[in-house]
Amino acid sequence: MIKEMVHRLREMLLFLFLAIFSKATGVKAYSRGGVIQESAAYCLSWRLAVETNNVRAWRTVPSQCLRYVEAYMLGGQYERDLNLIVDQILSYVNGIVPSSDGMDAWILDVDDTCISNVFYYRGKRYGCDPYDPAGFRAWALKGGCPAIPAILGLFEYLVQSGFKVFLVTGRDQETLGQVTIDNLHNQGFIGYERIILSIDFVVDMLKLMPSQLCIFSDAIRMAYDIPWICNLLVLSISNRTAEFIGQSAVAYKSEIRRQLEKEGYRIWGNVGDQWSDLQGECLGNRTFKLPNPMYFVP
């Protein structure tokens, strides 16, 4: 009898402890009118599922998570998450001895890896509104994306340590190339080896005359001084077919990394906020997924 009471008391104390402690750990569930309200707990599950790539090809943030994502991005946890990942990257970097041949490379994505679009997404209800290509282009053209401090620190450390840093972005070279380069420069991203942008307008034109692919790409090759542009063009075209749709960033960035490896670079690390940065081929020795609960790039 007493044994049973002690057991019951212990269970109650455990429950009480968990109920109190769960409030300090993001496991929040509060009762209202007898119904368990679990919005924040749901959004925490959703964020985890997005970051682990269990939820894919999502178009918008669930509208019930608007305030949650806002608080996450601006309230300090996003920075904490980034800092912990950068600590992990640095301890990995410190275990590498760069060779003297200058071929030790790192790859960093640009948007929401080096520089932040959070102030743009604030106007898009932190991703609760659907993707707006024209709106994003207008924002990017302002060149006002702030550096993400933890990644800027990582970037500087990599450059100082003798690594060649390649910035690889899906931003269009023709329309956003110069403003992106200027934006990165004024935010302190100085000393990278190369920035590799996308070539949307070429692809759009080639779609109109695919038979002229080879001649055209030779001309473009000279104009843009990208040694592997022909491969990219072929790839970009094939990606536009139904079979490859939804995987274009994976294939595009894989091709860029393959070409870097062909040039002899050893890719030690690959850092991005999208799983499409970190999947496919020639991924590098390690990949690091930075958090981004605001949008998904296929």
Q: Which residues bind its own copies (CB under 8 A)?
A: 14, 18-19, 21-29, 38, 40-46, 48-49, 51-55, 67-68, 70-72, 74-77, 80-81, 83-85, 88, 288-289, 291
Task: Render 50-107 in DSSP notation, one character per residue.
Answer: HHTTSS-S--S--GGGHHHHHHHHHSSHHHHHHHHHHHHHHHHHTT----TTS-EEEE
Least separation in angstroms between residue 28's CB and its own copies is 5
> Whose Cβ is closer to its own copies: residue 22's or residue 178's?
22
Judged by beta carbon, residue 45 or residue 212, the one nearer its own copies is 45
Identify which of residues 87 and 218 has a Cβ nearer to its own copies in the complex. Answer: 87
CB nearer to its own copies: pick between 25 and 100:
25
Catalogue the E-assigned strands of 184-296: 194-198, 266-272, 286-289
Closest approach, Cβ 65 to its own copies, in A, equals 9
**Token pair of 90, please?**
């640095």
Q: Is the CB of 75 or the CB of 227 nearer to its own copies?
A: 75
Q: How far is the CB of 71 from its own copies (least distance, A)?
A: 5
**Shortest Å, Cβ 90 to its own copies:** 12
Report yes or no: 145 and 180 within 8 Å, Cβ to Cβ. no
Helix (H) or strand (E) holding 8: helix 2-23
CA separation for the pair 242, 153 (Å, rounded): 41
Q: What is the CA radius of gyration of the chain?
A: 23
Nearest approach in angstroms of CB 129 to its own copies is: 20
